[in-house]
Structures are given as structure tokens and as C-alpha cells.
Structure 1
């Protein structure tokens, strides 16, 4: 992809009237919105950013990535105090002050929001922020209902929708009448519930389940099918074994049928029986924030969830209207939103940038971590690609042995015959640090033989990729340490 390639694209990018500076309106102020705003001003445009919420910055910095990773790290360190693999180090029950942890989370969130969002606005006079709810009147006109009750019309040459998503609330009878948590609430909790029930089994659900267990709660996870059902089945099975070893109860193929709240406790009727707890976390995914934009007025196409359909250039079905991030049908990942925002800005200012997701890494911050990139065997089969795969248990990885942390595996999927690497699925400590090497290998069209022939440092977790690649042609159990 070449961000500066501006050929064959001006047919969908109309120039501003009367030679004025190009005006771009951006609905939202999260990572995708800011990436677009910064790039658009670098290309000479002026930007009006419209934010409906009380704070700028979107989900990631305010209630998502940043505070959740602080919470997860705190819980990890608490667990290390309880249980460690070394005979010469004594275990002890940690003293946990949830209020102080929450205060530290809030402080770091405020610090990053100021440095990475508010300061950028203050330093960039080409970006104007307008507070209020925006909706389309036409393809180039927005009506913004401001918080003071007044309305303002914004006319722009291009419009980018980057409104993000909100916690989805499933239609469980009684749920709307009870004080359940979403992840936005749970991540800043100042209390440790005696028993937390988690409805959901994907990324946020499993991360929060393990964090609360390690911070002192009993945890029950209700999975409608299996744990991490959208991932390679081996990843879900491996994580479930790790959860059960920690005392997290996972009830697969279990649905909540009704919920009520009495005397400070939640009472659930499920397909597997009755459950009760003092806290309930609903973590069943996120819904695109598009319902109040009046998209139907201008004909922006959405899917059944309300997600805006975009092409690889971030264009919607309406000329001069673009979209990025969790409000679209793109993967709900902050770095995808930001990459989409940058490319949308290039395209809105006359370029032809493309968003390539063929080597998109994903990470789930449990322990062991779950990471993947490219195709798994099932996805390759759907595409009609014949594959070969190898799985290497961590007991064959020197760093895992040295750390006494051998739970997990590395799986590599290659195209049969050519042996070009198609995908990697990883359940391992530091899987998020390992997966990017696999992403680079896929992006550069490497074969597993080429990957296995590279020099990797020793002792590091990422060496597991090299060893797994070598299993396509040899028995690594018969190699010495550092064998090239």
C-alpha cells in the first residue's frame, strides 16, 4: 500500500468549493477519529470533530485497553504472590486495596488522555471540537444538537463516522431491571465481589473473569457455546483448562434465561439450573453506535447489527462519507480503528490508501495469553486452501522450561506444498509479544522453512516460533539447545 498514491481516485473525491481549504467533519473522538484528524490536517485539511460524550478519547483510553490492562497486571502480580513455581520462594496471600488500584487506574487514564488527546487538540489549531450529538441531514450536512440545547449545522466536504460501540445488552428477561455491570463498570471496581457471574465467553469476558478471580472473587463464566468460540478450538480448550486449574468455573453451552435481583443478590435461571451471586457482569460483545445518526436518511448501508459497511478504502455506500472503527464491520480492535482512520484521511484528501487485514494480529490478555494472526485451519478450509499444520507444546521451549511455565502451545498453519505460512495460533506466556513475528512472516510471504532458518535470540519466548517451524521437517526433541 502506498499512502501517497493519488491516481484513479479523484472521481469519488470532490474538490472543495471556491478553492477553500478542504473541510472534514469527524463524528467521534476515539483513536480512529484522532488518527484521521491528525493525518487530514497534515494533508492541509481543516477538521471539525464532534463528540457527544463528556470526555474525549473514546473507549480504549477511558474504559477499555488502558484501565483493563492495569487491572489485569495488578491481578497477575497478586496471583504471583499466591502461587509461584519456585521452591525457594514462599507463597503468601496478597493484601489487596481495590480503591487504591482504581485510583491509580483513573490517574493513568487521565494522564494519557491529556497527553495523547487533549494536548493534540490544544497544539493543532486546524482541529475544532464541537460538543453534541450529530445526525445526518444530507450527505454533506450534519445537525449537531449541543449540550446547551441549541443546534448547529455543520457542512463538510467529507464526513468520517468514528462513533465506536457500546456494551451490548442481551434480551434476557429481567436483565434491564437489575444493577448488572458492563465491562465499563467492572474495570474500575473498588470492591471485590464474593461471587461474580460473567455472562459471555469472548475477549472481555475471559479477561475480566480471570482478573476478578485473581483479585479474590469466586467466578462463574456462562458460555453460550464454548470458550472463545470464534477462535481456533484448541485455543478455547487450552484456556478453559487453565481457568479450571485456577478455580474459575466455566459452564459451556449454558444460557441465562431470566434474572432477578433481591436482597443484594442476583438470581439467574439458566439452561443448566439456578445460580446466585452478589455481582453480575454482562460481557456479550459491543454494539455499534449508529442508531442515532440517521444513516437511513442518506442511504449509508449497515449490516444486521447496525455496523456500517466499508470497503478496503474505508468508503461507505455514500460518496464522500467514510467510516472506521467499532461502528463499522471491521474487527473491533483499536489499532484497526486507528489504521482505518489514517487511511480514510489519506483517501478523503485525494489519495488511495488501502487497509490490509491479511496479517492482523489479535491478543487476549489472559494468562496464558491467547494470540493469533492469519488463517486457522478451519478458515483456510473455507477458502479452499489445503493446509499442513504443526503444534508445539511449550514443554519443548527452553524459555518456558526455565520459567517453569509450560502450559500452552504454538500452532503454525502453512499452505500444503508451498509451505507458505498462513497463520499462527498461540496459547502461551507473552503470546502477544510472540505473535507480531508471525505477522511479519505472513506479511512478507515467508515459508515455514525460512522462518525456522532465521536467527532467534536465546532464551526468549518467541523462539517457540522457530522451533515450531522446524517441526515441519524435523523432530525438535532431538535437537540441542540453540540448535540452528
Structure 2
């Protein structure tokens, strides 16, 4: 029986980051993982492989639509789907092997197998039981399915995001159930590859939780790209026959029943925590109605010595949120003061254009009765964006009306996922919009649009 200071169950972004930070802070650390590779859902069947396919298909779009405009003449490239999947797999391998290298470098033991907690202070992996002063649950999440609907996932015709990353061929038609991040990203991939893509969303708009002005603009841009978006529609059944699927849904505005056929149906209606098989209920670990481990401010569960981070606890199911919690918890376990600022957790949708947000939306500010001002700048006024055929979208900054302190920011446009972090840093330091407006930005860059939006919170942007 091996003995550790910390054993982490799960090697996704929360788990592996927590493990590495624990080891760096002098704690004897092990990480339990049953997959053949480290990295969890994110690196194996989530964030990383999906971004590889998004990048490949964005390059295809550039070649098909913009190369000729720039004087780059020649035949449009053809799609070698098996080679594209091979490229995606190579990206996965590079990243997962990188985590394995970091474990060895930092002397983190990889306990290979699926873990459970037979009693406080002990973790069972296979037939072996290991002791630990602290046990961290970082077991992640899985597809939540379609609420109140008849369907069966086979990962061939009716698929989750996992199946979407390894289809044997590009389908002629695809229905995406759910207008959230995963569905829109993978729908964009297959639309650019030539599939007829329909998105069916239960709410009256896609991307729930985003600033509504961004949502409306984003929806129009996706529709221009060929995605057919149906909102206010509840899916009731998905039937498969002869390698085809029929989706039945009801339009909420008039309760009319509708049907649509497709080669593939992607179920992307959110995710739920993975806690089954860990033995938590037997130990008396408190679980919420949503299936999340209940924790205190120090990430400790209701049982001493057992902690939880990432997708198994409350908050947005984002890899970087899990990473921050992993680092904070490691510091707490090492006797330091770990902390996560949940008011500055950015969110990104990696479509084209990208969408990024941080902090509060206009809807949130109105609901709490906060006095605020808005600074907005269109990428149409940005020289770099126009030169790169990327002038769709805008930057919007929300600031307190009296103090000018930045309360939130929302971007739809080129490199939005990178641009948002300038604003994140500003918010972390309690900056005012004027602080951004007075900071020199290199020209020509997309980031100038951020400065212009900050200027618009004051006397006005220059280029609009």
C-alpha cells in the first residue's frame, strides 16, 4: 500500500493541474486515470481535438472564399477526411504525451485505472488500495442527453461530441440538438465541410447566458454561413432506421409537431457531473440536486479529507475554471491562501468569428439595477480586420456609470478568445475603462478595437 499526501481522481485540466501544483509545492502526489492517456475529456475528446478540426475547416473556408480575392489563384483544395482525422489524432497525442512528461518531470505518480474511495483517506485503483491525507475528486463531466425525450446514443447516427470527432465520413446532413458552445462549434465544422446543418434549440435564442446583443449578432452570422437555426423548439424523440435519423420536435409558439430527417444527430444539450462509481454516497459526501459535490470555500466536501473541483462542483463547466480551482486547492493543501476570482472567468466559443465574454452582461446589470455605461466598437472600423476579411462583429465594454470600473466585456469577432484577456487582466486589477483607453495599442492590430470600445465609454471612439 502506497501512501501519499494527495491523490487526485481524474487527470483532466482540473486534475492534472492540481497534481502538478501539489508536487511543485512539496506534496507527495498521485493522480488516478483510467484512460490510456492523460488529459481527460478536454485533451482526448473535447477542447483540443475540436479546435484542431475547427482550425482545419477554417483554413478550408479561407481557401474557398478568400484566397482568390487576395490574388492566390489555383484549384480549391479537396478534403481528405481520414487525413484530417489523423491530423486531429496527432494533436491529441502531442498534448496528452506532454502531460505525461510533466507528470514525470514533477514526480507525480500516475495510478492507472478507475478509482473509488472505499473509506476516507483511502483510494482503490484496481485491486490496490492507496492511502492519502487528502483526496481530490476531479472526475469531470459527460453528455447530459436530451431532457424528457426518447433517444438512444449509438455514437454512429445519434452521437455526442465524442462521436462527432470520429465520424467515418462527412455526413450530407446533420441535426444539432442544442444551441450551446459544443453544438455550434461542431456544427460549424461540418457545415464548412459541406454538410447541411440544422440547429434545434429549446430556448428562444442560442448561446444561453451570453449578452443578448452578442447572441443576436452571432446568430445572424451563423445563419449567413449556412446553419439553419430553429429556436423555441423542444425535441421529443430521435428515431433511427437504416442508418438515418428522424428528429421529432414541438414548436413552443404554437405547439405544432414537426419532424426532420438527417444522416447524423449530434446531441449537445449540456453536460452533467461524473460521480458514479466513486463511492461518494456510501461515504456520506453531500451531493446537490444537480448531481454536483457540495463544497465549502476551500473546496472541501462534507467529509473531512475529501475535496472536489472542476465540472463536479458548481459553476461554469470550463477547463480553465477547473485549472484555477486545481491550483487554488493545491495551494490551500500546502498551507497557502489559494483563491479563484469567479467574477473574472472568461468564456469563449471557437467558431468563426469567435465569441468571448467576461463578467456581467447588460441583462445582469439591468436586473440588479446597476447604473452602467456601454462602449462599443465595430470591427468594420479596424484596419487589420478589414484587410483580413474579418470585419464582422464588435467589442462591447460595460463600465460602472459613476466609477468607470469595468464590469464586463463581450466580443464577437476575429481572435475574440485572445482579445478578451486584456480585459480580464484589467478587471483583475480593478481597472477603469479609461485605463484601457489610455494604454497604447500597436497598430494595426485587432486589439485596437478593444481600446476603441474603452474610448467609447468616455468621450467617444476615434474610428467610428
TM over 0.5, yes or no?
Answer: yes
- 2:57 is the counterpart of 1:75: yes
Post-superposition shift, 1:232? 0.8
Please tell me whether the aligned partners of residues 314 and 343 of structure 1 are also in contact (alpha carbons under 8 angstroms). no
1:91 to partner: Cα distance: 8.3
Matched, 1:28 2:28: no
Which of 116, 128, 141 lines up with 1:165 in the alignment? Answer: 141
Instruction: Give distance in 2, aligned partners of 1:33 and 1:446.
Output: 32
Helix, strand or coil at the partner of 2:316: coil
Contact 1:21/1:45 (8 A) holds in 2 = no
- Could you tell me which residue of structure 1 aligns to residue 47 of structure 2? 65
Contact 1:161 1:322 (8 Å CA) reproduced: yes
TM-score, with structure 1 as normaliser = 0.88
Quick one: structure 1 residues 133 and 398, their matched pair in 2 at CA, closer, same or farther if it must change by over 3 Å?
Answer: same
| Alpha-carbon separation, structure 1, partners of 2:58 and 2:42 | 21
Compute the displacement of 1:478 (Å): 6.7
RMSD: 2.2
Counterpart CA distance in 2 for 1:88 and 1:153 is 65
- Equivalents in 1 of 2:73, 2:175: separation in Å? 31
Change (3 A) 1:98 1:141: same
Q: Is the 8 A contact 1:363 1:371 kept in 2?
A: yes
Query: Where does the alignment leave 5 or more consecutive residues of structure 2 unmatched?
Result: 252-257
For 1:143, the equivalent position in structure 2 comes to 124
Shift of 1:355: 1.5
Deviation per CA, 1:100-154, whole angstroms, max 9, x where unpaired? 010111122112211x2222333444x333233333333323333x2xxxx3333
Q: How far off its partner does 1:171 sit?
A: 4.1
Match of 2:163 among 158, 172, 185: 185
Pairing 1:293–2:281 present: no
Matching residue within 171, 174, 192 for 1:214: 192
Choose which of 193, 206, 209 in structure 2 pairs with 1:230. Answer: 209
Q: Is the 8 A contact 2:43 2:96 kept in 1?
A: yes
Distance (whole Å) between structure 2 residues aligned to residue 161 and residue 288 of structure 1: 11
Task: List runs of 5+ in structure 1 lacking aligned partners.
Answer: 1-19, 480-484
4+ residue segments displaced more than 4 Å: 87-93
CA contact (8 A) 1:235 1:427 kept: yes
Q: TM-score, normalised by structure 2?
A: 0.92
For the 8 Å contact 1:105–1:188, the answer to whether it is kept is no
Output aligned runs, 1:366-381, within 5 Å. Answer: 366-381=351-366
Which of 312, 319, 343 in structure 2 is aligned with 1:327?
312
More divergent stretch after superposition (439-448 vs 274-283): 439-448
What pairs with 1:357-372 in structure 2 (closer than 5 Å)?
A: 357-372=342-357
